[in-house]
Amino acid sequence: MSLTDSVQNKQLGVITCKAAVAWGPGEPMVIEEVELSPPQSMEIRVKVVCTSLCRSDVTAWLSQAQASIYPRIFGHEASGIVESVGEGVTEFVEGDHVLTLFTGECRSCRHCTSGKSNICQVLGLKRDGVMHGDQKTRFSIKGKPVYHYCAVSSFSEYTVVHSGCAVKVSPIAPLDKICLLSCGAAAGLGAAWKVANISEGSKVVIFGLGTVGLSVAQGAKMRGASQIIGVDMRQEKCEKAKSFGVTDFLNPNDTDEPIPQVINRLTGGGADYAFECIGDTGMVTTALQSCCDGWGLTVTLGVPKQKPEVTAHFGLLLNGRTLTGSLFGGWKPKSEIPSLVEMYLKKEIELDDLITHNLPFEDINTAFDLMKNGTCLRCVIHMPEIEGFPMAGN
């Protein structure tokens, strides 16, 4: 598609572009020609430059829980360039570099103004496959709706998002790297800094050493934690984990002793902070058991694949241990994510080593296979180059 074609299509409103469409739970993505409506009031249309595959995309794709919301376009961790803006949008103009946000910030609801929460009541996590505003889709194929994922759907050359679900970033930031701050890396750093508020000299245990877990480790190291224990069943993650700050690597397959007992022994009474980054509610209980009495805090970040209920003996809580959740690391997305981009540009945080694979858009099913098999951390998917739009490294 040429820049001239893009301008002509904008005048017509609807554009045609390629998207990876899932036609059913667990079915391979199919690259389809889709129609994308123009941005409605307070929305923007974005040319996606890079989008990384998050574990929650895979979990939702494999789940039978929302089998009726198909066909569907997944993807939510993305960077791109504003192509056009809808009525009422004043903070974005064409050409702005942005990160998409799976949970937004209206800046006016009770939660946004509280200073205590990032759970926006207006632009919060969208699970029903439609947009926040009119509860409709922007994508279609031959007039039939194609549903969204988290009101982002970045596995498409173009997408439409609410202006409250995107944040402007520095034009010098590499879009193929900072897309990780659209979800996973930011979630881990925020869990360590904002939710747990890790103190210097503390002892930390992290269950699951994927992108989120390694980002927690990075955050804990930067806060001066004296001991960071990483728990993962994949021994090959040990070296990478230590480069992100893990001091002790623990493979549950290497011991017959219950993991909480091992951690209790290694820490001299339990961790000050435990992080569940797997998406396993049974592991939430294990993490809580691995904390110390009195002040031990467990933070759960993972999206459970099954059995959403958490069970724990009341005595753990009675003895002063705390269990809390973390959505997007507690960051207020529009207000605070730009500061992480600036930290990256100043080389204060590491993102590059979280990226294990770079693939072209047409290989998106390979990316899903890599994530499903646990053989990658983050796979960045590079969208096709379109004349008039700078690409990832520009």
pTM passes above 0.85: yes
| Region label for 216, one of left (φ > 0), alpha (ψ between -120 and 50) or beta (otherwise) | alpha
At which residue do the structure tokens 């900072």 appear? Answer: 178
Give pLDDT tens digits along the chain (394 positions).
Answer: 343 344 334 444 999 999 999 999 999 999 999 999 999 999 999 999 999 999 999 999 998 777 789 999 999 999 999 999 999 999 999 999 999 999 999 999 999 999 999 999 999 999 999 999 999 999 999 999 999 999 999 999 999 999 999 999 999 999 999 999 999 999 999 999 999 999 999 999 999 999 999 999 999 999 999 999 999 999 999 999 999 999 999 999 999 999 999 999 999 999 999 999 999 999 999 999 999 999 999 999 988 878 889 999 999 999 999 999 999 999 999 999 999 999 999 999 999 999 999 999 999 999 999 999 989 999 999 999 876 655 555 5
